[in-house]
């Protein structure tokens, strides 16, 4: 079945450092890929999305490119801020199959001032 694997955390960085959170997926069809973010005490919210191969999703300085050849969707940001501290979830959905979103286990990110 479809699944998502993302790097385990926590990831701790200093402010203004470069961020990469790795994510790979397994899917039988042609899924759409997402990154969701969960700030402390809140529910998840959509950060960015890519619906087909080679698409790049971006939002709030974060980017991720849908790489079909490596089945990857790594999240990157050039210069992180303390306010980026949160849990990040890689996710996929195969809308032609069903309406569920399959989430990874999440990666906790700590940014030190």
Partner 1 sequence: DAGVIQSPRHEVTEMGQEVTLRCKPISGHDYLFWYRQTMMRGLELLIYFNNNVPIDDSGMPEDRFSAKMPNASFSTLKIQPSEPRDSAVYFCASSQRTTYYEQYFGPGTRLTVT
Which residue of 1, 43, 96, 113 would you call a contact of partner 1, by CB under 8 A?
43
72 binds partner 1 (CB under 8 A): no
Contacts of 54 (CB under 8 A, 6+ apart): 65, 66, 67, 68
Closer CB to partner 1, 17 or 55, in the complex: 55
Closer CB to partner 1, 41 or 113, in the complex: 41
> How, if at all, do strands 3-6 and 23-26 pair?
antiparallel
45 binds partner 1 (CB under 8 A): yes
52 binds partner 1 (CB under 8 A): no
């Amino acid at each position: 079945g479809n699944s998502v694997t993302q790097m385990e955390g926590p990831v701790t960085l200093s402010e203004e450092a470069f961020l990469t959170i790795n994510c790979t997926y397994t899917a039988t069809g042609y899924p759409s890929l997402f990154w969701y973010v969960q700030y402390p005490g809140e529910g998840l919210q959509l950060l960015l999305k890519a619906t087909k191969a080679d698409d790049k999703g971006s939002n709030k300085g974060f980017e991720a490119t849908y790489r079909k050849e490596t089945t990857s969707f790594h999240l990157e940001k050039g210069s992180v801020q303390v306010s980026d501290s949160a849990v990040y979830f890689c996710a996929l959905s195969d809308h032609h199959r069903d309406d569920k979103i399959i989430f990874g286990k999440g990666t906790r990110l700590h940014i030190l001032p």
